[in-house]
Structure 1
């Protein structure tokens, strides 16, 4: 007869597999960048599956906005961790990351025809659907998190500030300003019966993860300096150092990491400027997190002095290194965050932070999402159609993505 421990382990494994399947679907269909990813996540885990409620999701998003690294991937790691522990966190990351990582690695090997073979209208339709996804997120989160005039005003002010002063620094300042407004201006909110994030990480493990994060940040440069880059071990350490630092020190989302990576791989001659730009173009055509661009860079990395290219090994090193800080920071921060968000002062601050997050999404809906996708009245029509399908007809996001891509192709064909 099966023991209680065995049953628990089996349930955990099934749950982790379920997390992987859901995130794999998102990894195959989540076009539009990190802001759109948060919209897809909200629809999948708050509106449809109810793995966590609106407030818990907003609190998780707010935390990941504070942390360096790719916010959408960190939110996914946090959801997987909450749902199925460490296995769930790994399953969420693998499911969301593998599709684009594999596609970009193949592109790095010279399989560029998959992008050139796609009609321009298809790619443009994928950009337009991001408008609908972000608009749906703004619509849903604003109704829950900004239900009164003070919070709605704070959201509008946050959007105005970010649009007036673009950049990652302004976003962090707006979030901090939202927390301050929550403490000083907004009325106190009663403790809500939110779905617990259910983090199965004790504080000792969390502290160890944070210590490891800083140890790698300090130690990898020292190790890389101790070994010559000409050797396999030396170049592997140099790659791990460069990509770990890029993942650990970037604020503001996936696109912000690109200039950091360019300085790390183009300047020393590891990747040519042309190859770097070609990979960046390919990264815009695949779903999932933009940080998987690291896998492409590892695949096209210049051969070692002995003539052996890094290939899949280089892609794996770069991919793991750039995401490793996100794992350590999420594991280290979430156990404290889950308790802190119910503290009276923390609740007041989070009330303001959540309103500011809505403002950030509102600003992103305009720039870059709207400005990058809506180029003509026909694009407005396609975006409105996608929004209607998502919000009012409750059509699954992956199907709306396919329909929007087809619509973009049809509009392009009609234009001749």
Structure 2
């Protein structure tokens, strides 16, 4: 039989169990209340900012407008939003972060050209910069400051307006090789254009020609450029969803499958530095940008990552963009064949049938020059305006606030 003491012990255990459950429920309710208060305060701030920023869709708590992004071609959607809100400059919230989209050339000129010094900086980009391994040492991701000015100066020394005039000779040579290759193998015209563009940049940067479409340099460069493009287009799928929820990047890689495509990052940096180091060690190499960088490295305290980024940017700015523009030119010729006879007539009259055109013929080829400019306008290579900008202080446009350090993106 159970004693009176046993019943008392049982009652005490029941009371303790009830008290523990009561405390746990209160703790849970307390944490939930604090979380809701923080969420409410944060959303109140978002709505407050929403009224001060350029027009756009009303954001939701935490996710902003991310759920509205289309699966592909977001630039078309942003253009439609500009028409809907009757404003060339709109706000679209990526999570808790407002991004400013500029949708016409006049507004872009007013903000990014006339106020270039104010918008020279770059926002913090988790996916493109930090997770990909590119990092903040690269000029395309760098915040405005002393290192930014050093990188910009060194870039202009290699591919500034006056410098590129020195490269016209081998540009002519490589264009003749490309024309010959297309003539003998027209089905692979895209590959021949990619070889041409990669070779020109490789000569500038490393003093090294790309003589064949089978050169592994082409494959590696195009793979890196393709990956960079994928990581630079806003979307609501991985990996860009991490710009909305940056805490997703904090998980250990062993339990976060969405981080596995990034590996350890920095593949492009290691590749470009290896090319640069090899070119610098070759004493018989022609003068090139890499040799200049290694010579200037002690003066500007350049590390290996910075040298890799400066040389890699040549391919990002000159290789993929040039070959894509040439492909667009071919598309324009097929889409508008009625425009070609006038170009042929001008080339035959100025250049003749026995040689290819050169830079010396440029002043006598106004129709061809206009054709080229129209190709640039018709299908821009950087549809969403390249890398985003970020104002170094608060700015205003038509009475709307553009906050300091916000993400400002062209879409023209």
Scaled to the shorter chain, the TM-score interval is under 0.3
Q: TM (normalized to structure 2)?
A: 0.24
Q: Which has the higher helix share?
A: 1
Which TM-score applies when normalising by structure 1? 0.24
Larger gyration radius, structure 1 or structure 2 = 2
